[in-house]
Amino acid sequence: MIKAFSLALAQLGERDILALLLKTILLTLLVFAVLGMGLYFAASWLFDYYGWGADGAADGALVGVLAALVTFFAGWLWFRVVAIAVLQVFGDEVVIAVERRHYPETISHARKVGFVRSLKMGIGSLLRALLLNLLALPVYIVLIPTAIGVPLAFLIVNALLLGRDLQDMVVARHSENISDRRWVLPFWGRFALGFVTAAIFLIPFANLLAPIIGASMATHLVHGRQSGDAGGHSHDWGIE
């Protein structure tokens, strides 16, 4: 796992990776910008409909502040969900960049995932994240008094989600079946991958890099499992 993480960091400065990083960040921010606009117009309609504000008219400044606050907290809570969903659409580009540099022998056997399949994977990722986090919401609420309990529960839940999502980006290039046992990581390797990536998402500013780092690590781990070595013994990758 440490080796996969180091290799992922080392490749962040490459042009292809930087371009994809910028694309992912901009599209993720665009999603939240659209959300903010939607909230603004929805709040304005509610204020007007119920006659709130001065003379029964919506106060534009107040509505704007409320929409901005809700969007900010939504971004803080759901940035990971949206960023990974967006990355799923372009995840093939990360995997290709890593494979081209470290595993060129696999390129000829790989397949292009395609926009439609990537989009389906992105939507599936988004729905799984929303569902599992909603199911875990009572646990989050119960753990609020413990202070540390909520971040820990968040890490565990999202480690399970992220490990699968990131692994699937790689497997999809090499098998029609993303559950193909020849390619999938063992449970604890997948969980460790998700846990490290989820932890990066909790760090301000570093969370912008988390999707790319996670996808790069997943590529190294999956190929490391396939080769049984990949520059080191399999136990060096933390996948067994």
At residue 29, the pLDDT reads: 80
| Helix (H), strand (E), coil (C) string for 122-162 | HHHHHHHHHHHHHHHHHHHHHHHHHCCHHHHHHHHHHHHHH
In percent, how much of the chain has pLDDT > 70? 82
At residue 74, the pLDDT reads: 61
166 near 214, Cβ under 8 Å? yes
Q: What is the pLDDT of residues 208-236, one digit of tens each?
A: 888 889 999 999 999 887 766 443 334 34
Residue whose entry in the numeric block shows the structure tokens 């093939």:
92
Q: Is the pLDDT of residue 53 over 50?
A: yes
Q: What is the pLDDT of residues 89-144, one digit of tens each?
A: 777 788 888 998 899 888 888 888 777 888 888 788 888 888 888 888 888 888 88
At residue 140, the pLDDT reads: 81
- Cβ neighbors of 19 (< 8 A, separation 6 or more) are none
Report, as an integer, the average pLDDT of 180-195: 89
CA distance 101 to 103: 6
Find which of 51-60, 65-74, 226-235 is predicted with most confidence, using mean pLDDT.
65-74
- Within the chain, residue ranges assigned H as helices are 2-10, 15-50, 60-102, 115-143, 149-171, 187-201, 210-227
61 near 94, Cβ under 8 Å? no
One DSSP character per residue, 79-98 reads HHHHHHHHHHHHHHHHHHHH
Identify which of 170, 191, 166, 195 has the alpha carbon closest to the alpha carbon of residue 180: 170
